[in-house]
Structure 1
Amino acid sequence: MGGEITETILLRASIADAIIIILLTLPFVLVASLRKRSWLIIPIGVLISICIELYALNTGRWAYNEYMPIIPILSVGLTPTIQLGLLGYLSYFVFSKQ
């Protein structure tokens, strides 16, 4: 891996993130008993992110530069790790207000 990051690669990654966020939040929208536990979107999203980051790092799909804050015990980047959880919850929050 380690090739040039093209717009096509970024588009595919963005679409994959959007699909993951939809699949993460959909049960909380559709299942009434989960609506009061919507806070679970954040830790579930973070867990999914950790798995994706560890897989990508271990298979050489990407690496971090010196500016990426690293979570010490996990050795994964901070911002990509919290991204899915926070965006998932924000998406749920915006959708549920309509």
Structure 2
Amino acid sequence: MGGTITEAILLRASVVDAIIITFLSFPFVFIAKLRNKNWIIIFIGIVVAILIELHALRTERWVYNEYMPIIPILSVGLTPTIQLGLLGYLSYWLVVGIKKAKI
């Protein structure tokens, strides 16, 4: 609620992000028809991040400080919004690279 950020809070947020990224990337790794459309991971990740940010801000789970760049129309943080989409896409490519190396 805008209070002190503890290591436990950061750990929980990281685990939730990892779970979201895993569920976001898996269909693109294992469904052949989606492999050529892997850019969708970025789009879905950004949409999910915006929804999470809007919910957290409306329920006052967190607030931004003056250093957070804000997306003007949406009034959500730029970096957390980009993070989920970009990390989902990078995770996808990492898994695909590992799978190809084992073949």
Give TM-score scaled by structure 1 length. Answer: 0.97
Point out 4+ residue stretches in structure 1 off by more than 4 angstroms: none
1:77 counterpart residue number: 77
1:17 counterpart residue number: 17
List runs of 5+ in structure 1 lacking aligned partners.
none
1:74-97 superposed Cα distances (whole Å, 9 cap, x missing partner): 000000001110000000011111
Give aligned pairs, total. Answer: 98
Q: Which has the larger radius of gyration?
A: 2
Measured after TM superposition, the shift of residue 4 of structure 1 is 1.7
2:68 counterpart residue number: 68
Alpha-carbon distance in 1 for matches of 2:53, 2:25: 20
Measured after TM superposition, the shift of residue 5 of structure 1 is 1.1
Alpha-carbon distance in 2 for matches of 1:39, 1:8: 32
Please list, as runs of the form range in 1=range in 2, the aligned pairs for 1:1-98 lying within 5 A after superposition.
Answer: 1-98=1-98
List runs of 5+ in structure 2 lacking aligned partners.
99-103
CA-based RMSD of the aligned residues comes to: 0.7
User: Which amino acid in the other structure matches residue 6 of structure 1?
Assistant: T
Measured after TM superposition, the shift of residue 44 of structure 1 is 0.3
Measured after TM superposition, the shift of residue 52 of structure 1 is 0.1
1:46-74 superposed Cα distances (whole Å, 9 cap, x missing partner): 00000000000000000100000000000
